[in-house]
Amino acid sequence: MDTQPDETFTGDPAWKVVRTLRDGGAITIRPIMPDDREELRRAFADASLRTRYLRFLGGVGELSEETLTYLTCVDQHDHIALVATMTSPDLKSERGVGVARVIRLKHPPDTAEAAITVTDDMQKRGVGSALAHELEHAARASGIRHIRADVLEGNSAMRGMLEGAGARRVDDGDEPGTISYDIALEPSPSPSTIVEMLRVAAQTTATR
């Protein structure tokens, strides 16, 4: 059974929700913690080359100690990171199956870049949608109103998808040949729209 938090997300380590997946399995979504460092290292080592490439935009062989610290020691306000976990059948261990994060831009401060990563064996089961739903609410609670994505200028199909979902072109992207789009979190887009936008942002950026 799904559970709802008692109050709005504040980054409190005790905050968590339980969500039921499409196949009936259950995940717990909670703030990422420094103690998740080794589990994140393990999950990355087990990820396919494609998953690593789309998430980190290159052929990363392993996560450095500095990167692991950056990804797990977050303030949960300007850098919000949520982890989805599953409990082992014997209830003795917890396995990370997905991470979602938003990182606030300095200008404008109500806009953030975002990413969602799901372990290869848990993809297409609803983990990404569940993470997107909670990430959206956490971002709103921290004053984030727009998610930004950079898209290749010549990729008319992806641009059309974003514009059809209500994304607004804001300027040329950070890299030559790219365009930046913002999608407003209000009125609320569906979780599937957010997941699709993040997937598009990862794939189009990875081809630079």
Domain ranges of the chain: 1-143, 145-208
pLDDT, tens digit (0-9, with 9 covering 90-100), for 150-176: 777 777 877 787 787 778 888 765 667
What CA–CA distance (Å, rounded) separates 137 from 155?
A: 30
- Per-residue model confidence (pLDDT) at position 64: 87
For residue 206, pLDDT beyond 60: no
pLDDT band per the 50, 70, 90 thresholds, residue 192: low
The CATH number of 1-143, from 1.20.1250.20, 3.40.50.1000, 3.40.50.720, 3.40.630.30, is: 3.40.630.30
Higher pLDDT, 105 or 205: 105
Provide the pLDDT confidence category of residue 202 given band limits of 50, 70 and 90.
very low
Instruction: Tell me if 162 sits within 8 A of 151, measured CB to CB.
Output: yes
d(CA 198, CA 58): 17
The 79-87 sheet, strands edge to edge: 17-20, 26-31, 79-87, 94-104, 111-118, 146-152, 178-184, 168-172
CA 14 to chain centre: 20
Residue-wise pLDDT tens digits, 23-82: 999 999 999 999 999 988 888 888 777 666 555 544 556 788 998 999 999 999 999 999
Flag the least confident range among 41-45, 57-61, 106-110, 193-197. Answer: 57-61
Q: What percent of the chain has pLDDT over 70?
A: 76
CATH topology of domain 145-208: Alpha-Beta Plaits (3.30.70)
As beta bridge partners, residue 118 has 98
Intrachain domains 1-143 and 145-208 with the same fold: no
Residue that is written with structure tokens 């699709």 in the block: 196
Taking the alpha carbons of 43, 206, 113, 192 in that order, is the dihedral positive or negative? negative
**Percent of the chain's residues with pLDDT above 90:** 29
The model's confidence at residue 207, banded by pLDDT at 50, 70 and 90, is: very low
Evaluate if residue 130 carries a pLDDT over 60.
Answer: yes
So what's the pLDDT on residue 33?
A: 95
> Which carries the bigger pLDDT value, residue 85 or residue 136?
85
Q: Tens of pLDDT along 135-149?
A: 888 998 999 998 887
Q: For the chain, give the mean pLDDT.
A: 80
56, two tokens: 């980190």
